[in-house]
Chains A and B, each alone.
Chain A
Amino acid sequence: MLEVINLKKEYQTATAVDGISFRVEKGKIFGLLGPNGAGKTTTIRIILDILKPTSGEIRFDGKPIDKEFVNHTGYLPEERGLYQKSRVIDIIRYFSELKNVHANQAIENGVEWLKRLEISQYKDRKLEELSKGNQQKIQFITAILHNPDVLILDEPFSGFDPINQQLIKDIILSYVDNGKTMILSTHQMDMAEKLCDEIFLIDKGKEVVGGNINEVRKKYGKNSIRVDFSGDKSLISSIPGIVEINVYSNYAEIELNESTKPSEILKKLVDIVEIRNFTILEPSLNKIFIDLIKKSSE
């Protein structure tokens, strides 16, 4: 288990991280979420021992992290880039050796990973000869090849087509199944929603919300429905109990106040318009976050 305890990072002019704490359990995907400049990258850098915190500490398996810890972490930064002029297998070997993997072992593992990501044929090519997507795969390999205990992925899916996103997603899931610790930092809420067990939302260096994703949903989710209909949409807004209504060409998303039940609205709607489909909406993480961050900045 990775523990972040009361972490604080102050710069001369600003406070990047302001006293946050969270726990990342083994075998679960932890989503570190937040808008740009929220303090995600600073938090990640402190966990990776790139930056020293002003106060607070990082513990892994109950012990404060030490110099040895860097050999057990893997990191995929948001901005990608590797040595363009170097050979693929050399790059893989270099970054593995930096994680204390023996050169022969590194090459053996590298060949295996290239096969798994379906790019074995590029082993001896220069990186610049590969497509953007394949270069990203190489970078993903360099983050995971030494089988780290803690893997931190920053926007791992950006730049991949849907097929490769699926490929990466499968690897991530099987990796966590082996009892490893994983932090996923992303803006793509739909991805976070699908993958993360736990989430932690940070804004302006402070915790906004954290915990199990279903509990967060339950707690902050709004009472919303979606109606596919034909008829006069102006009549819908006259129904009592509606807080907000977003009308699209042939459907509407309707937010109800807390005391109004969706079934009551349905009864009233039937009289006004012709209904083709009626859905009670699961609150989307996206919506929850936008609302929460708006609220916190007010």
Chain B
Amino acid sequence: MKKFLVIAKWEFLEKLRTKAFIISLFVTPLILFLFSYLPGKLANEEDQTTKPIGLIDSTGQYTIPLTEKLSSLSFGNNQPRYLVLNLAKKDIPYEQLKSDANEKVLAKKIDGYIYIKYDSLAKPVIEYRSRSVGNFHDLDMLEATFNEMYRQTEFRKYNLDPALVSNITKKIEIKSIKVEEEGKESKTDFYAKFMTSYIFIILLMITIISSGGMLIRSLVEEKSNRLIEILVSSCSANDMLAGKVLGLSLLSLFQVAVWIVLAVGFAGASLATMINLDSLLLVLVYFMLGFVLYTSLFVGLGSVVTTEQEAQMLTSYLSLVILLPIIIAMPIMQNPDLLLAQIFSYFPLTSPAIMILRLNNVAVPAIEIIITVGILILSIYITILFSAKIFRIGILSYGKRPGIKEIISWLRKE
């Protein structure tokens, strides 16, 4: 067997058997699941009990219609959403009413109360006062209900038919259709697109960080106990480099494959409707290119570090660069032709992630794909060349970490 294959097999099997790997294989998807699923689930999950809310209408105009409207809202099973209590009383000043209502809120007798008054231009101003200001569900509901009621009463003043009004003011949604190169049209579901691109970028990130981290840790271990000397006295540095990169890359890809199988297993068919990839093949090309580029970068940098701490520092810095596309993903998704997006598409370290985002979202011209793939392949070639040089010398340097000058002098050699 070729020696680099011997090394690749060893790295793959030995890391596969470690407890840390087995744990991360199952814990990481669990964490990802909790991260992506729980917040949305919690935000959408509302407690299905009728909320008592107060109403103080200093204008006297809206008490009856608003109470009617709000009381008619239900959870869909005829259970009303709100129990509206009129807190306004004759002969009692509004300031007094408000402070009484505040007490009720604090005593949790009511969830909150609506206060309506006129501003200087005789337009109604409406406030919702409650203990929590973050309950956007209730706020949306109250606002929409009030506005509908307000429009209807205003139109009625001018003797217009409310049915006609509601027909005219009905919101008409815009459907977004992506026009592709060949004149093909496809329906866009922004959310699905965003999520699929996002999932791919996060997978890319995790595989890069985990395999890069493993690579650096394995190098540091072998350097610290001088195993590296036995290795390089048995095979060439290039065999070692190729073997390690191959073995650990396969391990990371195996990890991703397991996760995908797990995801399909759990989510099953519902996943198929969610996944929305028009250019799966190209996305995979960028994924692999990005992965290989970062891994070869990790090799070069990893052979320079001499201690576990340095390795951790390096890994976290590189992780930040890998994270960058995730931070700028939202603006790019909303406007894929942004100049910023163009620039980051050509910059090798961000190119894979940004291209995955853009490919999914706009019709990227073929020439741009060719150029970016070209840039990536060239960058990989240069990185491997440099990394291999640094690696050959770096793996045998112990103790003090070499400075930039020293590394440059290594690159000049041969």
Contacts and interface: CB of A to CB of B under 8 A. Distances in A.
Interface in B299-317: none
B226 A73 contact: no
B240 to A, nearest CB: 10
Contacts of B1: 97
B300 to A, nearest CB: 19
Interface in A88-127: 90, 94-95, 97-100
B234 A77 contact: no
B235 A98 contact: yes
B226 A77 contact: yes
Nearest to B406: A12
- Majority-rule SS of A interface residues: loop
A95 B225 contact: no
Interface in A1-59: 12, 45, 48-51
A100 B2 CA distance: 9
B230 A70 contact: no
Contacts of A90: 14
B342 to A, nearest CB: 44
Interface in A242-281: none
A80 interface: yes
B396 A75 contact: no
A70 B14 contact: no
Contacts of B225: 79-82
A142 interface: yes
A67 B238 CA distance: 13
A50 B232 contact: yes
Interface stretch (B3-11, B25-33, B81-89, B106-114): B3-11
Interface in B354-397: 396
A291 B316 CA distance: 53
Contacts of A85: 14, 17-18
A287 B96 CA distance: 106
A82 B235 CA distance: 17
A83 B225 CA distance: 9
A71 B229 CA distance: 14
A94 B226 contact: no
A73 B235 CA distance: 11
Given A75-B230, A81-B225, A94 B409 contact: no
A140 B235 CA distance: 19
B110 to A, nearest CB: 62
Interface in B221-239: 221, 224-227, 229-236
Given A83-B14, A94-B10, A98-B7, A70 B409 contact: no
Contacts of A165: none
Contacts of B3: 98, 100
Given A73-B233, A99-B234, A81 B6 contact: no
Given A94-B6, A98-B234, A98-B235, A83 B229 contact: no
Given A81-B225, A82-B227, A97-B1, A75 B233 contact: yes
A86 interface: yes
Interface residues of A, number: 29
Contacts of A100: 3
Contacts of B235: 70, 98
A26 B229 CA distance: 24
Contacts of A67: 236
A153 to B, nearest CB: 13
A194 B3 CA distance: 38
Given A51-B396, A98-B235, A45 B227 contact: no
Given A90-B14, A95-B234, A98-B234, A50 B229 contact: yes
Contacts of A81: 224-227
Contact of A86 (B7, B14, B234): B14
Nearest to A41: B229
Interface string B203-221: 0000000000000000001
B396 A50 contact: yes
Given A79-B225, A98-B3, A98-B6, A12 B409 contact: yes
A229 B364 CA distance: 100
Contacts of A45: 229, 233, 396
Contact of A75 (B7, B14, B18, B229): B229
B230 A142 contact: yes
Contacts of A51: 396
A199 B224 CA distance: 30
A48 B228 CA distance: 13
B226 A79 contact: yes
Interface in A197-214: none
B4 to A, nearest CB: 10
B10 to A, nearest CB: 5
Nearest to B235: A98
Contact of B231 (A12, A79, A86, A98): A98
B406 to A, nearest CB: 8
Contacts of B231: 98
A50 B227 CA distance: 13
A27 to B, nearest CB: 23
A82 to B, nearest CB: 6
Given A12-B409, A90-B14, A50 B226 contact: no
A67 B237 CA distance: 12
A100 B4 CA distance: 12
A85 B11 CA distance: 12
Contacts of A82: 225, 227
B15 to A, nearest CB: 9
Nearest to B234: A98
A90 B18 CA distance: 14
Contacts of A77: 226, 229-230
13 contacts: A45-B396, A49-B233, A70-B233, A70-B234, A70-B235, A82-B227, A83-B14, A90-B14, A95-B230, A95-B234, A98-B3, A100-B3, A143-B230
Instruction: Across the A-B interface, give the 5 residue pairs with the lowest CB-CB distance, nearest first.
Output: A81-B225, A98-B234, A48-B233, A79-B226, A97-B6
Given A75-B229, A143-B230, 12 more contacts: A48-B229, A71-B234, A73-B233, A77-B226, A81-B226, A83-B221, A85-B14, A94-B6, A95-B230, A95-B234, A97-B6, A142-B230
